[in-house]
């Protein structure tokens, strides 16, 4: 059954500002942002470069490279490749660099208040 009320109670006693100031949390935030922000900028630039080429460099995009396959089609398919690649990269980065540290912080905060099933057993409740 739902345990929404319990979740709120369980975290009500946590001083999140204190957690936010811990070195470990700062490391987590830095690792997260230093991956997702540059990556977002890179794929958006690459995507818009492609859109601009398709829009304003039709001649270049129409150059046939192999049979009827032209530059435009190759660049379009490369968009697929980079999307799949960034996805795989992010997953591996999260598994290695983000998940362990996030789990540590989470267990530390919730450890006192939750048993394995996620139910409130003691403490923390006002």
Partner 1 sequence: MNTMVPAAVNVAALKDTTLLNMGIFALFVAVTMVIVFRASRNNKTAADYYAAGRSFTGSQNGTAIAGDYLSAASFLGITGAIAINGYDGFLYSIGFLVAWLVALLLVAELLRNTGKFTMADVLSFRLRQRPVRIAAALSTLAVCFFYLLAQMAGAGSLISLLLGISDWGGQALVIIVVGALMIMYVLIGGMKGTTWVQIIKAILLIAGAGVMTAMVLAIYGFNLSSLLGSAAEAANNPAILNPGLQYGKTETSKLDFMSLGLALVLGTAALPHVLMRFYTVPTAKEARKSVVWAIWLIGLFYLFTLVLGYGAAALVGAETIKSAPGGVNSAAPLLAFHLGGPLLLGFISAVAFATILAVVAGLTITAAASFAHDIYANVISKGKADATTEVKVARRTVVVIGVLAILGGIFANGQNVAFLVALAFAVAASANLPTIVYSLFWKKFTTQGAVWSMYGGLAAAILLITFSPVVSGAKTSMIPGANFALFPLSNPGIVSIPLAFFLGWLGTVLDKRREDPAKQAEMEVRSLTGVGAEKAVDH
Count of residues touching partner 1 (by CB under 8 A): 60
Q: How far is CA 6 from CA 2, 19, 55, 60, in A?
A: 9, 21, 54, 61
Q: Which two tokens stand for residue 94?
A: 């999260």
Judging by beta carbons within 10 Å of its beta carbon (0-12, 13-18, 19+), is residue 7 exposed, middle or buried? middle
Q: Is residue 121 at the binding interface for partner 1, with CB under 8 A as the rule?
A: no
Residues that bind partner 1 (CB under 8 A): 1-4, 7-8, 10-11, 14, 16-17, 19-20, 25, 28-29, 32-33, 35-36, 39-40, 43-44, 47-48, 50-52, 54-56, 58, 61-62, 66-70, 72-73, 76, 79-80, 83-84, 86-87, 90-91, 94, 99, 102, 105-106, 109-110, 117-118
């Amino acid at each position: 059954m739902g345990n929404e009320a319990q979740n709120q109670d369980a975290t009500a006693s946590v001083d999140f500002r204190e957690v936010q100031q811990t070195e470990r949390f700062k490391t987590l935030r830095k690792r997260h942002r230093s991956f997702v922000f540059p990556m977002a900028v890179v794929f958006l630039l690459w995507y818009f470069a492609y859109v601009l080429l398709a829009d304003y460099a039709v001649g270049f995009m129409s150059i046939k490279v192999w049979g009827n396959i032209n530059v435009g089609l190759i660049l379009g398919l490369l968009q697929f490749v980079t999307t799949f690649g960034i996805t795989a990269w992010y997953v591996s980065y999260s598994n290695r660099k983000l998940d362990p540290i996030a789990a540590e912080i989470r267990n530390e905060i919730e450890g006192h208040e939750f048993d394995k099933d996620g139910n409130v057993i003691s403490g923390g409740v006002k």
